[in-house]
Structure 1
Amino acid sequence: MRRDMDLVRSILLRIEESELPYHDGILEIEGWSEGEIIYHLNLLIQAGFVNALELGDVNTPFGYQFQDASLTWSGHEFLDKVRDPEIWKKTKEGAAKVGTWSVSIIAEIAKGLMFQKARELSLPIL
């Protein structure tokens, strides 16, 4: 299965919008299957963007689910860079031109776009 950065962003947004750690078991996100979501949630846990309790031997088609999912500091930092839909769209366009969808490249492209937007708004940046 290929990593889908749109799904990564959607999962981070969904977890963030919960007032408490996401506790409903399986995340449901329109347009993606349960298997795709679980795969990407696993990737986010491996990357250190999400903490979650994995429930073993659960009666689901995939045999497990997660609960108490919450963003880590790194997850918040990445999401803050790609949250804005306009910046996300331009970030994806930039990543396609560069030819890579690595998290570090996406974060740097988004960061550059954020700085550009801040300059356009005459905001001081370091």
Structure 2
Amino acid sequence: MVRWQRDIGEIRRLLLEIEGGREAFCALPRSSAEAMMLPAEECLPDAEARKLSYHLSLLESAGLAQFSRLSNGNWHVRGLTWSGHELLDNIRREDIWTAVQALHRQMGGFSMEILSDLARDMMRSEAGVLETSGT
């Protein structure tokens, strides 16, 4: 059974990888590669491939990243969108990310919009502290 749950850690990981220069993702399940008699060494196990493909689809449908998809399971990265960069800028720092994740777990989850807003507010609050201490 496939669980279609959004994993915020996976979203962040993918955004960071794309920003860092990742050019493509192979989401062809190992069993499919073997059935087509293709090299399967670099293919992901079926569940991991489905999870990757699902999260890449979420990034694309949310307008956070752009891809070109090939029939062989490869997703070629065309880049992050403005919104993708904005979200990543809000959740990049480990301390901010850890705090947002803790709230996410405590509340049982919330939307990416709220996640981004919380992280942005934490960054703004810290920037305010920096402004006050610099004067």
TM class by shorter chain equals: 0.7 to 0.9
* Correspondent of 2:79 among 70, 80, 95: 70
Counterparts of 1:105-116 in structure 2, within 5 Å, are 105-116=114-125
Say yes or no: does 1:86 pair with 2:95. Answer: yes
What value does the CA root-mean-square deviation take over the aligned residues?
2.2
Match of 1:47 in 2: 62
**Residue type of the partner of 1:44?**
L
Count matched residues: 112
In structure 2, stretches of 5+ residues that fail to align are 28-41
In structure 1, stretches of 5+ residues that fail to align are 59-63
* Structure 1 stretch displaced more, 66-75 or 83-92: 66-75
Match of 1:14 in 2: 17
Say yes or no: does 1:26 pair with 2:26. Answer: yes
Q: Distance in 2 between matches of 1:25 and 1:104?
A: 25
**Residue type of the partner of 1:23?**
E
Q: Distance in 1 between matches of 2:113 and 2:24?
A: 30
Say yes or no: does 1:96 pair with 2:105. Answer: yes
Match of 1:61 in 2: none
Offset at residue 93 of structure 1 (A): 1.6
Match of 2:52 in 1: 37
The secondary structure found in structure 2 opposite 1:3 is coil
**Residue type of the partner of 1:16?**
E
Structure 1 segments, 4+ long, off by >6 Å, are none
TM (normalized to structure 2)? Answer: 0.73
Residue 123 and residue 55 in structure 1: after superposition, are their counterparts in 2 closer, same or farther (change >3 A)?
farther
Q: Distance in 1 between matches of 2:120 and 2:25?
A: 32
Residue 69 and residue 101 in structure 1: after superposition, are their counterparts in 2 closer, same or farther (change >3 A)?
farther
* Structure 1 stretch displaced more, 100-109 or 114-123: 114-123
TM-superposition CA deviations, 1:53-107 (whole Å, max 9, x none): 0112x1xxxxx22113410111001000000010001011223334433111101
